[in-house]
């Protein structure tokens, strides 16, 4: 079971003076259960790529195919695909519009023609999954904090029980606490069996949370591997307009200045443990 792009090319505004090929002959498979980050410089094609996985965009004619669990996406099965593959846009709270949180979450269920009781059960279950306080359900979405609004937006997608969840910059615009809570939520959803694929500009968020990192560079796949494998390529990332996590830069600089041979660090927790180890060995002052 997987999401798969096979030799996909997509062009915006073809046959006009503004024609731009956003992704070019891209093949990529996301296996069920993965927690994958997609990164790349602004305009690299990462959002275009992501939007193909649930049919928001479709390949140029005769230039590739997209499959969900082995079934090719076509105009005829788009509805079924989008029930299985949920998509959360960047700043999704800007798309909240109903008068209460409950109604906003329930909006995506209307097409299923459920009874009022079934709808309520689904909304309550989804709210519990994203750790959204039931007391908030009858409040206006505009009374909520940024982090709460983001949870409501995610809840409105997972209420339909998607197998895959695609998110464009899920932590964008949130304060540090809000970012931690959203990434913790995504980990929790992944542990419940939902495949997570997210775009991020924060290398720290990617390093701390993703198990796989895919770099899109100028419309093609540049690198694909574990966070450790990807973030070892600091010079290459720099040429692509990307960076490494702040803790990686800190310890890389420290290693050069001290002449110490130390492990590659990409997470803050690893940095803390490394400092303790070096202090215990007497290689670093207390």
Q: What is the CATH number of the domain that holds 67?
A: 3.40.50.300
Q: Are residues 72 and 198 in the same domain?
A: yes
The gap from C-alpha 127 to its chain's centroid, in whole angstroms, comes to 20
Q: Are residues 251 and 194 in the same domain?
A: no
- 44 and 214 Cβ atoms separated by less than 8 Å: no
For residue 260, the enclosing domain spans 245-286
Asked if residue 191 and residue 251 are part of one domain, the reply reads no
Residues 94, 41 share a domain? yes
For residue 29, the cross-strand partners are: 4
Residues 70 and 177 in one domain: yes
CA angle 65/70/72 to nearest 5° reads 35
Q: In this structure, how many other beta carbons lie within 10 angstroms of the beta carbon of residue 72?
A: 12
DSSP letters spanning 118-159 = HHHHHHHHHHHHTT--GGGTTS-GGGS-HHHHHHHHHHHHHT
- What mean pLDDT is predicted for residues 100-125? 88
Same domain, 160 and 274: no
The 10s digit of each residue's pLDDT in 228-272 is: 999 999 899 999 999 999 999 988 888 888 877 888 889 988 888
Mean pLDDT in the chain?
91
Give the tens place of pLDDT for each residue, 141-181.
888 888 888 888 899 999 999 999 999 999 888 888 888 88
Q: pLDDT, tens digit, for every residue of 24-46? A: 999 999 999 999 999 999 999 99
Query: Which residues is 219 bridged to in the sheet?
Result: none
User: How many domains does the chain fold into?
Assistant: 2
* Residue 183 and residue 285 in one domain: no
46 and 145 assigned to the same domain: yes
| 249 in the same domain as 161 | no
Global confidence as pTM:
0.91
20 & 88 share domain: yes
In this structure, are 175 and 256 located in the same domain? no
Asked whether residue 62 falls in the same domain as residue 172, the answer is yes
> What is the pairing mode between strands 2-12 and 65-68?
antiparallel
């Amino acid at each position: 079971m997987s999401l798969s792009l096979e030799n996909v090319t997509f062009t915006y505004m073809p046959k006009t003076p503004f024609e731009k090929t956003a992704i070019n002959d891209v093949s990529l498979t996301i296996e069920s259960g993965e927690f994958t980050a997609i990164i790349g410089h602004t305009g690299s094609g990462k959002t275009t790529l992501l939007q193909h996985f649930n049919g928001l965009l479709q390949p140029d004619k005769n230039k590739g195919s997209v499959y969900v669990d082995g079934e090719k996406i076509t105009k005829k099965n788009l509805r079924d695909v989008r029930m299985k593959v949920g998509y959360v846009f960047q700043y999704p709270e800007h798309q909240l519009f109903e008068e209460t949180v409950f109604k906003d979450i329930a909006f995506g269920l209307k097409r299923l023609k459920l009874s009022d009781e079934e709808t309520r059960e689904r909304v309550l279950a989804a709210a519990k999954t994203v750790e959204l306080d039931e007391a908030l359900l009858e409040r206006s979405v505009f009374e909520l904090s940024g982090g709460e609004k983001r949870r409501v937006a995610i809840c409105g997608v997972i209420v339909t029980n998607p197998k895959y969840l695609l998110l464009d910059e899920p932590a964008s615009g949130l304060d540090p606490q809000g970012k931690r809570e959203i990434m913790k939520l995504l980990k929790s959803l992944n542990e419940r069996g939902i495949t997570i694929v997210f775009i991020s500009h924060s290398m720290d968020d990617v390093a701390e949370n993703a198990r796989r990192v895919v770099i899109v560079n100028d419309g093609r796949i540049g690198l694909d591997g574990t966070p450790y494998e990807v973030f070892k390529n600091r010079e290459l990332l720099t040429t692509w307009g990307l960076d490494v996590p702040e803790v990686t830069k800190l310890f890389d600089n420290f290693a050069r200045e001290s002449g110490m041979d130390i492990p590659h660090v990409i997470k803050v927790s690893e940095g803390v443990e490394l400092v303790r180890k070096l202090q215990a060995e007497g290689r670093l002052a207390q």
